[in-house]
Amino acid sequence: MEEYQKIRIDVLKGFVVDVFKKLGMSEEDAEITADVLIASDRRGISSHGVARLGRYVKGIKNGVMKPKAEMRIEKETANTLLVSGEDGLGQPVSYKTMKLVIEKAKKNNVAFAAVHNSNHFGIAGYYSMMALKEDLIGISTTNSAPLVLPIFGKTMMIGTNPISIAAPAGQERPFVADMATSTVPRGKLEVYARKEKKIPLVWATDETGKPTDDPDKVLKNLLERAGGGLLPLGGSEEETGGHKGYGFGMIVEILTGVLSGGAFGPFVYGKKGEPANVCHFFGAINIDAFIPKDMFKENMDKLIRTIKASEKTEGKTRIYIHGEKEFEQEDIHQEVVDIYYKVVETMQDIGKEIGIEPPF
Amino acid sequence: MEEYQKIRIDVLKGFVVDVFKKLGMSEEDAEITADVLIASDRRGISSHGVARLGRYVKGIKNGVMKPKAEMRIEKETANTLLVSGEDGLGQPVSYKTMKLVIEKAKKNNVAFAAVHNSNHFGIAGYYSMMALKEDLIGISTTNSAPLVLPIFGKTMMIGTNPISIAAPAGQERPFVADMATSTVPRGKLEVYARKEKKIPLVWATDETGKPTDDPDKVLKNLLERAGGGLLPLGGSEEETGGHKGYGFGMIVEILTGVLSGGAFGPFVYGKKGEPANVCHFFGAINIDAFIPKDMFKENMDKLIRTIKASEKTEGKTRIYIHGEKEFEQEDIHQEVVDIYYKVVETMQDIGKEIGIEPPF
């Protein structure tokens, strides 16, 4: 049996848009959300692609995600925005807010927006990369369900809180970092559990708070909130830099939840059956306010080429720049994406349930 | 023999100011530089305190740091600055630039500055914390000598590139993250070498690019640039998150060296005997542009208290918030700092050399 099914992007997108419309979303919002999900599959980040469709459908059906929500600008200046997502899906409010941030940065050099009362927004890199089309530096971050430990603690307090920064280059591909501030996201443990592999000791702790190599135990504890959880980048101790990953996670909580007046830390997804109040933070920097953008791009090329051409460690043949692997995946998946068979099955179930025939 | 000597802060500062003035710095610049150095000793970060005085004196004497340099604003908008440090010491240009950034953020919500042709600026946290007095969020980062590896590479390409973000709280102490983006800075290896301790395998690689536990070998290789170097936060492999620390290091190179039109990556300290062209990036965000600052502070208190009160792992009695340890050190060192005896000796040597009697 083939593990992955090849599906045409236009066909897949049509189906996903139809699902969201059937659930009450506007054409525009359904298009945006489908595009963010499929961009993730195209970039090889299948954990954040259409594999998430089931969770969104469930969220809408449970009433904790509001498909008809229209974002509300609560406060606005020449270069800042405070936005409420009104408990709608994360993608439409994030896309529209980042558009506004980009316009403001083009006019006024730098701009930031904080968003509250939103939901999971897909890949952070989608929004930071929107700035690249305008030759700006893009910034995107979000808080998320509290699955990560402060070091020396055994109760999960912080989200996996990805940070994404995108910067244009000239001849080279842009730099696009998009990184959870935990060592790994939960999905990585699921992959190791499926393959019956042990996990490195910097990924997670058991219910007593000790680092463990058993992914099944951790996944069970996460679900039951039995103690322990995911470790911040750098692991459980200061000696290995765990306080730094924890620090980056905190910075995200501050810029998203605290600065927007929304939920932060353990209060995100705080009450079962109620909206999650996920919060985001977006930014854009106009390079021309500092140096001519052509000079910036030339220097980016120089930085990228110098690093890529530098000597490799034994056994390694290539040094990567952030985003490079994903751009290569995107090139391969221009018309067709590979979807894991279980994800295809779930989409077929969703289609049946809500009365839309999936065309695959 | 006592390993540490207690020195009154006013006495120590007087000496450091006199040294810098004798070497040609203005009273104002000497005061700023001395204050940044001694703030570091007060906060318990002795690696960046007066222990560095010798290097600055050497830099000035060699002509690669220019004591009389006056910073030059090359480009300015309502919320951005491009600044040349004119190869002066890093502290005066950083202090004065951050002052301007704060003024701009107070008037125009957010502001950023990129600085090129500067030098080592001391602790990044000094400048981000300047924003706290005005109840702003402060951002400070710098590139530095290339001592860190891209993962899969064995030539040092990136600085230890600290990132500092400071945010005010209400009753609680402010949040102040100040973190090198390598797992550890070089100084940590020197401490382990002195104590003849092995280093964790996520700190550095040997000349073949393999992780090593031998600090002496690494320090020798760093000096000779013989191959290998410090590892980014997360270590040598993607499995442990090494690409993330490497990503944060790259973000710093982009915002400092690339965006300012200065030196970046391996080109910082690129030519022996010439100015280092270290580059910085400063920012400030006016909280009131988003939510009332009192609400922000209340929520910061709530976040901090919730995390600190959460359950500890076995064997740990306390969860720290970033900056907390340093504020406690600062409280202890209100009038007197503890200086390592070798640092005292070096200062006495400096005094003799340039004709100033150290009063300790």
C-alpha dihedral (A179, B297, B282, A172), degrees to nearest 10? 20
Q: Do B244 and A307 touch (CB under 8 A)?
A: no
pLDDT per residue as tens digits for the range B153-169: 999 999 999 999 999 99
Instruction: Give, in order, the Cα–Cα distances in Å from B189 to each of A239, B152, B162, B200.
Output: 11, 21, 17, 10
Identify whether residues A199 and A240 lie together within a single domain: no
Q: What is the mean pLDDT of residues B56-65?
A: 96
Q: What is the pLDDT of residue A294?
A: 98
Identify whether residues B248 and B267 lie together within a single domain: yes
Identify whether residues B48 and B110 lie together within a single domain: yes
Distance from CA of A284 to the nearest CA of B (A): 11
Q: What is the pLDDT of residue B191?
A: 87
Residue B145: other Cβ atoms inside 10 A: 18
- Examine residue A315 and state whether it is found in any structural domain, yes or no: no
- Which of B258, B288, B304 to mutate against chain A (most A CBs within 10 Å)? B258
Mean pLDDT of chain B: 97
Name every chain B residue with its beta carbon within 8 A of the beta carbon of A200.
239-240
Q: What is the mean pLDDT of each run of 10 residues along chain A (360 residues)?
A: 89 98 98 98 94 96 96 98 98 98 98 98 98 98 98 97 98 98 93 93 95 97 94 97 98 98 97 95 98 98 98 96 98 96 95 92
| Amino acid residing at B45 | I
Whether pLDDT at B1 is above 60:
no
- Examine residue B299 and state whether it is found in any structural domain, yes or no: no
Identify whether residues A90 and A190 lie together within a single domain: no
Contacts of A148 (CB under 8 A, 6+ apart): A156, A157, A158, A159, A160, A161, A181, A182, A229, A230, A231, A232, A246, A249
Q: What is the pLDDT of residue B4?
A: 94
Identify whether residues B216 and B345 lie together within a single domain: no
Question: Sign (positive/negative) of CA torsion A121, A122, A123, A128?
Answer: negative
Whether pLDDT at B2 is above 80:
no
Distance CA A191, CA B222 (A): 38
Residue of B nearest to A307 (CA): B157
Distance CA B47, CA B34 (A): 15
- Examine residue A319 and state whether it is found in any structural domain, yes or no: no
Could you list the residue range(s) of the whole structural domain that residue B132 is in? 4-185+230-292+326-354
* Tokens read off for B320: 């720290």
Q: Is B114 on the interface with A (CB under 8 A)?
A: yes
| Amino acid residing at A205 | T
**Residue B194 pLDDT level (bands cut at 50, 70, 90):** confident
Chain A residues 165-204 within an 8 A CB cutoff of chain B? 165, 167, 175, 177, 179-181, 183-184, 200, 202
Residue of A nearest to B105 (CA): A79
Residue B117: other Cβ atoms inside 10 A: 24
- Examine residue B256 and state whether it is found in any structural domain, yes or no: yes
Nearest to B112 among A110, A233, A300 (CB): A110
In our burial notation (b when 16+ CB lie closer than 10 A, e otherwise), range B222-259 reads beeeebbbbbbbbbbbbbbbbbbbbbbbbbbbbbbbbb
Chain B residues 20-59 within an 8 A CB cutoff of chain A? none
Nearest to B209 among A78, A244, A314 (CB): A314
Identify whether residues B114 and B169 lie together within a single domain: yes
Identify whether residues A123 and A135 lie together within a single domain: yes
Name every chain A residue with its beta carbon within 8 A of the beta carbon of B209.
311-314, 316
Name every chain A residue with its beta carbon within 8 A of the beta carbon of B291.
75, 82, 259-261
Residue of B nearest to A201 (CA): B240
**CB-CB contact of A307 with A321 (8 Å):** yes
- Which of A81, A83, A110, A225 to mutate against chain B (most B CBs within 10 Å)? A110
Helices marked H in A310-340 — which ranges?
Answer: 324-332
- Examine residue A74 and state whether it is found in any structural domain, yes or no: yes
- Examine residue B307 and state whether it is found in any structural domain, yes or no: no
- Examine residue A283 and state whether it is found in any structural domain, yes or no: yes
Identify whether residues B158 and B190 lie together within a single domain: no
Chain B residues 236-255 within an 8 A CB cutoff of chain A? 236, 239-241, 243-248, 250-251, 253-255
Element containing residue A346 per DSSP (H, E): helix A341-354
- Examine residue A307 and state whether it is found in any structural domain, yes or no: no
Judged by DSSP in three states, B169 sits in coil
Identify whether residues B39 and B51 lie together within a single domain: yes
Nearest to B80 among A82, A110, A184 (CB): A110
pLDDT per residue as tens digits for the range B81-90: 999 999 999 9
What is the CATH classification number for the domain harbouring B344? 3.30.1370.60
Identify whether residues B75 and B86 lie together within a single domain: yes
Identify whether residues B264 and B332 lie together within a single domain: yes
Name every chain A residue with its beta carbon within 8 A of the beta carbon of B174.
none
Identify whether residues B101 and B225 lie together within a single domain: no
C-alpha dihedral (A189, A195, A201, A205), degrees to nearest 10? 40
What is the CATH classification number for the domain harbouring B204? 3.30.60
Q: Is B155 on the interface with A (CB under 8 A)?
A: yes
Chain A residues 204-233 within an 8 A CB cutoff of chain B? 205, 208-210, 227, 233
Q: What is the pTM of this model?
A: 0.98
Nearest to B312 among A75, A154, A184 (CB): A154
Quote the number of domains for chain A. Answer: 2
Element containing residue B128 per DSSP (H, E): helix B124-130
